[in-house]
Structure 1
Amino acid sequence: MRLVLQLVARLLVIVALCLGAATIWATIDAYRSVDRATEASADRVSQALEALYWRELLLRSSRMREQLLPAPDWRTIETMGRIAPGICVEFEPARAFEQPLCGQSKGIGKTPPRWFAAAVHITLGDHATVERPISARAATAGTVRATADPDAAIALAWQHILDNIHVALLMALAIALLASLAIAHTLAPARSIVTALRRMADGQYRTPLPRFRSMELAMIGQAVSELGDRLAQAQEERAVLTRRLLEIRSDERRALARELHDEFGQNLTAILAFANSIEATVGKVETAQDARMISQATRRIMACLRDTLNRLRHPPAEELGLEASLVDLVDSWRSQAATQPLIQLDLQGDLADISGTVAATAYRVAQECLTNALRHGAAREIVLRIERRSGAENALLVRVEDDGGGDAAKVAQSAGFGLTGVSERVAALGGSLSIAPARRGLSVAATIPLAA
């Protein structure tokens, strides 16, 4: 799951929790507002009745105080206006059959669900009754008792919740949307880091990264850049060590070639001379035949030694040049037998100034690939293509294709010492070697940078 979606999902969970908390707070506040309305109604009605009490006392001083209140005109529209909706007020002592005076409760709100009414009643309990005396100086003036209508109080709380929940829901959606956009914008630079890591996986270790405003992303980008620098440095050191190893191996091969030529070559030449002398001077047929067999065995050993010396010495590309050495290589394979497959040599571009290690490596690649195609395949046609690519690429492409079948993946996994050595040579120069299927066989391609 993407990080942006995870953060957005967590944000939605937090918004839902906050919305639930706001709903609970709105319920408690609405329920408490009914208690506040009850107290306010009791205060307003008691103040109004106190003024009525003292007025009746002054105007009708001949009457007994017990007969002053409740006054017959206290249940008026003015008194109704002092009572909050859903609140009922009654006067003590009350007249016979006198009903409480209640505020307007119709249209106070929508009818709440039963589960909400039950939950509020269980959780918050009943509303308290508020009593206020008519006059603090006259205890016999009476008392005002205000109570809240339970159904009206719950309906008012439910309407309060609906009003607040709509606003809270809109705010939650707006916060979630804006926060999602902000999170997506903040994490957008992470794509640059992923792209840089993919380029590093492809070998482009020093990949520049943009400057990040976020401190965390900046630290990650700096760590990725440092990792790329270390990988590039390690790759350069590895290439240097590989080139040094190839030079040491080349020196050892030349030394071994000199030893073989000086020791084995001279001794084999002496053996051949002695065998020819014996064959020419001895008259017995058996002895002459033995000498002839010694001569034949010696010639075969000398031919094998000559081939080994040719492989141990410097490749002809360093002496004859790349183009002439490739022509000589193809001609040598063509002249070995008439049953050899058709070998085509395709040279593209100017190869005259290519020399040194690049030329030697290209020659070794062509030699090894031709050897594998001729000895290990059933090819009828082999194409050796050497192409010099100029411009920004500035590289030498060596490609050998054959129609002898074969599985490219299996050959790449089970590459022998020859292909492994060629791959190391190419990698030491900063190039690459690939094995891929061709139309009817295999294609081995090596790209060697000319800057090497």
Structure 2
Amino acid sequence: MRLVLQLVARLFVVVILCLGAATVWATIDAHRSVDRATAASAERVSLALEALYWRELLLRSNRTREQLLPVPEWRTIETMGLISPGICVRFEPAGAFEKPLCGQSKGIGQSPPRWFAALVQTLLGDHAAVVRSISMRAANAGSVSAAADPNAAIALAWQHILDNIHVALLMAVAIALLASLAIAHTLAPAQQIVAALQRMARGQYSTSLPRFRSMELAMIGRAVSDLGDRLARAMEERAALTRRLLEIRSDERRALARELHDEFGQNLTAILAFANTIEATSAQEKDNSEVAQDARMISQATHRIMACLRDTLNRLRHPPAEELGLEACLVDLVDSWRSRNAAQPMIQLDLKGDLAGVRGAVAATAYRVAQECLTNSLRHSSARVIVLRIERRTGAENALLVHVEDDGGGDAAKVARSPGFGLTGIRERVAALGGSLSIADANRGVSVAATIPLAA
């Protein structure tokens, strides 16, 4: 999952939690607001009735206080205007059949769900009644008792929650969207860092990144750039070391070829001459026919050893592709294999592009890759058709492609893991020139492809 989506998802979780906390707070505040409205209604009505009580008492001084109770004409429209919606006020002592005077409760809010009413009733309980004396100086002047209508209180709380939640929800959505855009904009440079790492994985180690505003991303960018520079230097040093090792190995191979040619070649020639002499001498004598036959067998064995020695010398000597050209050497290589394997497999040579200008280390490496792959296909598989394709690609790629494919079965993964010196050698040669070697399964066999940059 992408980091931006993870951060946005976590942000939405935080927003939902905050929205839930806001809902709980709004519920508690609505419950308390009903209690505050109840107390305020009782206070306002008690003050109004106190003024009415003393006015009646002064205007009608011949009356006793007991005759003023209940306070006359207190159930008026003015008194109702002092009572908050959903609050009912009762005068104590109440008259006969006197009902509480309630504030307007119609249209104060939507009917709440039953679960909400039950939840508020369970968690927050009922609203307590508020009692206020009409006069502190006259204790027998009566009192005002205000209580909240349960249904109206629940409806007011639900409406209060809806009003607050709508605003909170809009703010939460706005915050989530703006924060998501800010997170996406902040993490946008991460795509450039990932692209730089992908280029480094493809071998483009020297990659530069722009300076990022974020300190953390800037540190990561500098670390990636430094890593690329170090990898580039390490690869250059490794390539130089590999080229030096290949030169040393080539010198050793040439020295070994000279020793084999000078020592073994002369000795084998002498053995062959002695065997021919023994065979010719023994053939003249009738009793020495077995000696002549043994000498003939020695000659045949010597010829086989000399043929094997010639093949070994051809592999040890520096490939002629550096001097004679790649195309002529490849044709000669394929013809030599065809002459030794007249029946099968059939070797197809496909040359594409201008190979005349390909010389030096590139030509030698391409020749070695083709030679090694043909040798492995002929010796270690039952291939009937082997295709050797050499292609020179120009333009931005500017590379030489060597592709060998056979139909002899085989497992590409097993071949790639082979510890043999042949594949290891051509892999080192190709890597020393900055190229790449891949081994994959073909339709009915194994495919080996090497890409060698011509700039090498």
TM range (shorter): 0.7 to 0.9
Contact 1:408/1:435 (8 A) holds in 2: no
Contact 1:254/1:312 (8 A) holds in 2: yes
Match of 1:76 in 2: 76
Match of 2:358 in 1: 354
Q: Secondary structure at the match of 1:220?
A: helix
The 1-side partners of 2:92 and 2:413 are apart by 105
The 1-side partners of 2:401 and 2:157 are apart by 83
Residue by residue over 1:251-288, the C-alpha shift from the partner in whole angstroms, topping out at 9 and shown as x without a partner, is 22122222223322233333333344444556433344
CA-based RMSD: 3.2
Matches within 5 A, 1:32-181: 32-181=32-181
Unpaired runs of at least 5, structure 1: none
Contact 1:433/1:445 (8 A) holds in 2: yes
Please say which of residues 102-111 and 25-34 is displaced more in the overlay: 102-111
Shift of 1:405: 4.4
Match of 1:300 in 2: 304
Matches within 5 A, 1:358-377: 358-376=362-380
Code of the residue aligned with 1:357 in structure 2: it is A
Shift of 1:333: 3.4
Contact 1:341/1:382 (8 A) holds in 2: yes
The 2-side partners of 1:304 and 1:406 are apart by 28
Matches within 5 A, 1:34-433: 34-280=34-280, 283-284=284-285, 285-286=288-289, 287-336=291-340, 338-339=342-343, 343=347, 345-376=349-380, 382-401=386-405, 404-407=407-410, 409=412, 412-413=415-416, 416-433=420-437
1:154 and 1:337, CA in 2 relative to 1: closer, same or farther beyond 3 A? Answer: closer
Code of the residue aligned with 1:55 in structure 2: it is R
The 2-side partners of 1:34 and 1:216 are apart by 51
TM-score (ref. length: structure 2)? 0.85
1:52 and 1:292, CA in 2 relative to 1: closer, same or farther beyond 3 A? Answer: closer
Contact 2:392/2:398 (8 A) holds in 1: yes
Aligned residues: 451
1:210 and 1:138, CA in 2 relative to 1: closer, same or farther beyond 3 A? Answer: same
**Percent identity of paired positions between Structure 1 and Structure 2:** 82
Q: Secondary structure at the match of 1:392?
A: coil
Code of the residue aligned with 2:162 in structure 1: it is L
1:160 and 1:423, CA in 2 relative to 1: closer, same or farther beyond 3 A? Answer: same
Shift of 1:341: 5.6
TM-score (ref. length: structure 1)? 0.86
1:143 and 1:231, CA in 2 relative to 1: closer, same or farther beyond 3 A? Answer: same
Code of the residue aligned with 1:317 in structure 2: it is A
Unpaired runs of at least 5, structure 2: none
1:414 and 1:31, CA in 2 relative to 1: closer, same or farther beyond 3 A? Answer: closer
1:289 and 1:185, CA in 2 relative to 1: closer, same or farther beyond 3 A? Answer: same
1:290 and 1:181, CA in 2 relative to 1: closer, same or farther beyond 3 A? Answer: same
Please say which of residues 269-278 and 11-20 is displaced more in the overlay: 269-278
1:376 and 1:82, CA in 2 relative to 1: closer, same or farther beyond 3 A? Answer: closer
The 2-side partners of 1:42 and 1:360 are apart by 107
The 2-side partners of 1:171 and 1:337 are apart by 83
The 1-side partners of 2:116 and 2:280 are apart by 127
